[in-house]
Amino acid sequence: MDSGACLLSLLVALSTVSHIRSEPILRLPSEKAISSDYCDSWRLAVETNNAGAWERVPVNCVNFVAEYMTGGRYRRDCDVVGNLSLAFARSVRLVGDGRDAWVFDIDETLLSNVPYYEETGFGFEIFNETSFNNWVNLAAAPALPANLILYNELKELGFRIFLLTGRSEYQRNATEANLLLSGYRNWERLILRRSSDQGKSATIYKSEKREELESEGYRIRGSSGDQWSDLWGYAVAERSFKLPNPMYYIP
Ligand SMILES: *[C@@H]1O[C@H](CO)[C@@H](O)[C@H](O)[C@H]1NC(C)=O
Ligand SMILES: *[C@@H]1O[C@H](CO)[C@@H](O)[C@H](O)[C@H]1NC(C)=O
Ligand SMILES: *[C@@H]1O[C@H](CO)[C@@H](O)[C@H](O)[C@H]1NC(C)=O
């Protein structure tokens, strides 16, 4: 059966079931029902946010995600996003008053935590704050190559760069050290969660911070992040660029 016919029969099957049970027409299969050849479709549903919030990589997709992250595909996907971001940036007419801004997230955007997630099942294990903080303190995350290139090009073009991360103030030193070690220089400001920001969803916290930048007169031309919560909410950028991340979801 080709994939179109397959989808059609799935839709028919689901609508029949939903007719009987009056459930929503289309839902993702439960975690256990996801077979390994379904994982690329699962990944697309996750990236487009059709899947909504999800807690962990389905057990049957762990190998798929590991292969995706380390087998070259992730790198290529990020390169495409980086190139498209740069093409947009070059099309922007900068005012040139030092207020044209670009906002970057950090984790899985400027820095790659793949070495950490390799040790923890690529998103299969539930997030462990203690062990992740230990990793952050090592300041050993490599740069995400596509975004290091983009970052440097944006600086050349005259954008002011703001780093807006869900990491907390107490991680400032380790985060700065890691950014410098992996090649990033001369950002305008590094914004981390203060105690008053704890407990806010990423969407609210990041929207509030972007709004503060706008009230200082910055025009947020572009924004890059691996989570939708880096990009949407309010005070959004003129263009937002979503990096892939099939390992975890942050609301
Ligand atoms: C991205 O752009 C660079 C430089 O123009 C080019 O060498 C590379 O092939 C592009 N990569 C992709 C995946 O489009
Ligand atoms: C979380 O990580 C810490 C440090 O590696 C470890 O001691 C602890 O057992 C882990 N907690 C869970 C629930 O796995
Ligand atoms: C961070 O670094 C600064 C200057 O290098 C130092 O004074 C401060 O004690 C450090 N803070 C922490 C929490 O390590």
pLDDT tens readout for residues 127-159: 999 999 999 999 999 999 999 999 999 999 999
Question: Is the beta carbon of 80 within 6 A of some atom in ligand 1?
Answer: yes
Task: Work out which ligand 1 atom sits closest to the CA atom of 83.
Answer: 1
Which domains are delineated in the chain?
A: 37-47+55-242 (3.40.50.1000)
Pocket of ligand 1 contains residue 76 by CB under 6 Å: yes
Q: List b or e across 138-159, with b for residues whose CB sees 16 or more CB atoms inside 10 angstroms.
A: ebbbebbebbbbbbeebbeeeb
* Atom 13 of ligand 2, nearest CA residue: 128
Number of other residues whose CB lies within 10 A of the CB of residue 238: 11
Are the C-beta atoms of residues 175 and 190 closer than 8 Å to each other?
yes
Confidence check: pLDDT of 5 > 90: no
Mean pLDDT of 157-182: 98
pLDDT in tens, 191-237: 999 999 999 999 999 999 999 999 999 999 999 999 999 999 999 99
pTM: 0.87
